[in-house]
């Protein structure tokens, strides 16, 4: 077992390690299933956890995850902030604005990390371990799976969590969940059946990829069937009354648009499980709401909340010079982040007629001056993002070659010749000494001319039909002043090109609705990075759900991208999967549906000095609400000093 764990640990070494070493490690051949898995004569695999390739880092008798402090004390409160407003505690409705972390009260068959939604543990990628389920069994072809549930699992109201609740929750998502989710899942999962009170079986469609099947059903939140039936509640309607969950935290109180308090259930059924040891350490999690980031920052300085994940470069560079920092009451840390940076940026709504033309999109992108923005507005703290998997071994570089080239050629006419012979697209460079880089503006205006948008006597661009080239760019009023300044400078360059561009600040609720309805030409939004293949790639980047998927704000629909995703899903080895994902990064960049902006390879955090965390953090999660803990002595010292 020691050798197996060593190999798995090496495979997930921090992504900032030298690329050559990582590539060599990722090229290792995957060995047979781990010793802790047993395969019966009927080719049924039984295990305490799941990964697609069958390799698990933690054995069946593991005591806790390696990165946690198993003796972390329980107690205390941590408080964070949320921007804007909320009017619902149902996080699964398309309507309304759900309270921050309102989904955290529910658990799934296979465990997750609180407040992040990613699978636990946070030190390996693509592995999940039993939570509501103590074990699972599935056939070698992954045509079905049976979860053996823990009989001791309970909802917060004391009622048992059963296989009937699992089936009910699965069907509820299909009937009342987001359309993109329901359609994708119903095509892949053909049956859900409670074999008895604590055994549930799922069957899967034939002739589809085996990806995201077992882990999909294993990560679906489980709701209490009886509560829904007694209350006549619906998953697709906002409501303030939350169904009881089985998780360690439950809603204790809320004050609409002001505050939400979650409390750790002292009778939580799973507190002694190995998957939970050293985790869920705070007695209370308090979320304070503020109208905008400026008000929230002032509240943090005053101690109204105690932990702040900083994303505003101006605040990080200049804002933390107040008394509490000088006296050591507030700690500042830059903690490593081993995940690929979030692919955020200025997203084009590809359904809008002018933006269907690549030349228009390229011209619009040239209005963004990263170098000037970073130095003038962001204190030089960021790097330019180029890739959807930036700084990982999956990032496409140069022209395709070797296995990647062969894969692209095998896909036929859906791959344009330029993809085969040209280097991967990178973000353009700009003159950082001035906002309006004249060379880029000239390039942009030439592209607009070629696209048929000519400048009239009034300096505005119109097409042959006399239609004005207008672009609407809404941003939430609760956002940071820095983001507003970035968008304002970008819009000013668009106007210099003759584009009728408008920056519009809207309240958070309206912004949420406009985002869901794609009521914008441009929007500052993000996609999800990827380190492995899964059918979630289709929800984010695929054509079939492009018209309505909330995870695809551009509405990208590309046969080439679809084909590459399918190749990734059909991969039989990690090497084939990595090749396809590198090709996917190249293709997404080629389609150019987003202006890439900046990224930070660290987590900036500020907190009142009463919290502690493991010395070595795992690469895939900061884990503040997961495995940090409260130091009572430090908290008392702050109180005695008059800090709080």
Edge-to-edge order in the sheet of strand 133-139: 38-39, 44-47, 133-139, 144-149, 199-204, 189-196
> Is the pLDDT confidence value at 432 over 70?
yes
Coil vs helix vs strand at 560: helix
Q: What is the mean pLDDT of residues 379-400?
A: 97
pLDDT digit string, tens, across residues 174-198: 999 988 788 888 999 999 999 999 9
On the question of pLDDT at 586 being above 60, the answer is yes
Task: Say if strands 629-630 and 611-612 run parallel, antiparallel, or are unpaired.
Answer: antiparallel
Give the 3-state secondary structure of residue 481: helix
CA atoms of 607 and 329, how far apart (whole Å): 8
Say whether pLDDT at 528 is over 60.
yes
75 Cβ contact list (under 8 Å, min separation 6): 281, 282, 283, 630, 632
Average confidence (pLDDT) over 143-158 = 98
Beta bridge partners of 632: none
Q: Do domains 32-62+85-231 and 344-599 have the same CATH topology?
A: no
For the sheet with 307-310, list strands across it.
307-310, 602-608, 330-336
pLDDT score for 42: 56
Where do the domains of the chain lie?
32-62+85-231, 249-338+601-640, 344-599
Torsion over CA: 546, 547, 548, 550 (sign): positive
Alpha-carbon distance of 573 to 443, in angstroms, equals 44
Q: What is the four-CA torsion angle of 569, 570, 575, 580, rounded to 10 degrees?
A: -60
pLDDT per residue as tens digits for the range 240-284: 998 999 999 999 999 999 999 999 999 999 999 999 999 999 999
- Give kind and range of the element (H or E) at residue 347: strand 344-348
Is 364 within 8 Å of 451 (Cβ atoms)?
A: no
- Least-confidence region, from 446-455, 527-536, 597-606: 527-536
Domain 32-62+85-231 listed as CATH 3.40.190.10: yes
Quote the pLDDT of residue 10. Answer: 30
Specify the DSSP class assigned to residue 318.
I
pLDDT at residue 8 is higher than 90: no
Q: Is the pLDDT of residue 449 over 60?
A: yes
- Structural fold of domain 344-599: Dipeptide-binding Protein; domain 3 (3.10.105)
pLDDT higher at 14 or 319: 319
Q: Report the greatest alpha carbon distance in the chain.
A: 81
pLDDT higher than threshold 70 for residue 526: yes
Task: Inform me whether the pLDDT recorded for 625 exceeds 80.
Answer: yes
Helix (H, G, I), strand (E, B) or coil at 49: strand
**Residue 116's pLDDT band (boundaries 50, 70, 90)?**
low
Contact 352, 524 (CB under 8 A): no
Tokens representing residue 555 in the block: 């509405």
Determine the pLDDT at residue 115: 63
* Rounded Cα distance, 224 and 105, in Å: 12
CATH class of residue range 249-338+601-640: alpha beta
User: Which residues have a Cβ under 8 Å from the Cβ of 165 and sit 6 or more positions away?
Assistant: 222, 223, 224, 225
Phi first, then psi, for residue 249 (nearest 5°) are -115, 140
Helices (H) and strands (E) in the chain, counts: 21, 26
């Amino acid at each position: 077992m020691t050798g197996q764990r060593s190999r798995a640990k090496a495979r997930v070494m921090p992504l900032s390690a030298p690329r050559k070493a990582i590539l060599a490690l990722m090229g290792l051949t995957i060995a047979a299933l781990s010793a802790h898995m047993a395969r019966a004569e009927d080719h049924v695999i039984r295990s305490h956890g799941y990964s697609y390739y069958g390799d698990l880092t933690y054995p069946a008798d593991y005591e806790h995850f390696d990165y946690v402090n198993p003796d972390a004390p329980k107690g205390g409160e941590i408080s964070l902030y949320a921007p804007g407003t909320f009017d619902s505690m149902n996080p699964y409705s398309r309507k309304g604005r759900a309270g921050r972390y309102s989904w955290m009260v529910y658990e799934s068959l296979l465990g997750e990390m609180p407040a992040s939604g990613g699978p636990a543990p946070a030190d390996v990628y693509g592995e999940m371990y039993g939570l509501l389920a103590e074990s699972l069994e599935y056939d070698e072809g992954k045509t079905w799976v049976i979860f053996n549930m823990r009989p001791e699992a309970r909802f917060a109201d004391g009622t048992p969590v059963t296989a009937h609740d699992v089936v009910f929750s699965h069907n509820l998502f299909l009937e009342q969940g987001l359309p993109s989710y329901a359609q994708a899942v119903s095509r892949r999962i053909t049956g859900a059946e409670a074999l008895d009170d604590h055994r549930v079986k799922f069957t899967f469609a034939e002739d589809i990829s085996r990806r995201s099947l077992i882990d999909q059903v294993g990560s679906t939140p489980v709701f209490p069937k009886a509560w829904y039936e007694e209350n006549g509640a619906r998953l697709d309607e906002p409501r303030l009354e939350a169904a009881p969950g089985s998780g360690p935290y439950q809603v204790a109180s809320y004050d609409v648009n002001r505050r939400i308090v979650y409390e750790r259930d002292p009778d939580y059924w799973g507190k002694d499980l190995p998957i939970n040891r050293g985790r869920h350490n705070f007695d209370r999690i308090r979320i304070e709401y503020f109208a905008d980031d400026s008000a929230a920052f002032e509240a943090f300085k005053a101690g109204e909340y105690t932990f702040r994940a900083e994303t505003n470069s101006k605040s990080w560079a200049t804002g933390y010079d107040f008394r509490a920092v000088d006296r050591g009451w507030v700690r500042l840390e830059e903690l490593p982040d081993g995940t690929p940076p979030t692919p955020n940026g200025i997203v084009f709504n590809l359904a809008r007629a002018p933006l269907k033309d690549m030349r228009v999109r390229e011209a619009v992108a040239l209005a963004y001056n990263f170098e000037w923005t970073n130095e003038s507005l962001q204190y030089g703290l960021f790097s330019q993002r180029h890739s959807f998997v930036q700084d990982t071994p999956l990032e496409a570089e140069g022209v395709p070659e070797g296995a990647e080239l062969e894969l692209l050629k095998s896909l036929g006419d859906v791959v344009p010749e330029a993809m085969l012979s040209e280097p991967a697209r990178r973000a353009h460079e700009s003159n950082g000494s001035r906002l309006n880089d004249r060379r880029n503006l000239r390039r942009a205006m030439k592209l607009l001319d070629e696209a048929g948008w000519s400048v009239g006597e009034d300096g505005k661009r119109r097409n042959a039909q006399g239609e004005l080239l207008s672009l609407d760019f809404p941003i939430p009023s609760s956002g940071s002043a820095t983001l507003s300044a970035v968008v304002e400078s970008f819009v000013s360059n668009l106007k210099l090109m003759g584009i009728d561009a408008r920056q519009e600040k809207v309240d958070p609720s309206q912004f949420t609705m406009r985002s869901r309805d794609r009521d914008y030409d441009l929007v500052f939004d993000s996609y999800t990075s990827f380190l492995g293949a899964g059918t979630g790639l289709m929800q984010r980047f695929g054509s079939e759900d492009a018209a309505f998927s909330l995870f695809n704000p551009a509405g990208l629909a590309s046969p080439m991208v679809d084909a590459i995703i399918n190749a990734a899903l059909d991969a039989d080895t990690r090497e084939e999967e990595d090749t396809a994902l590198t090709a996917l990064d190249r293709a997404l960049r080629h389609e150019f549906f987003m202006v890439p902006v900046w990224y930070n390879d660290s987590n900036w955090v500020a907190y009142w000095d009463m919290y502690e965390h493991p010395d070595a953090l795992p690469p895939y999660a900061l884990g503040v609400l997961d495995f940090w803990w409260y130091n009572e002595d430090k908290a008392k010292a702050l109180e005695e000093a008059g800090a709080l």
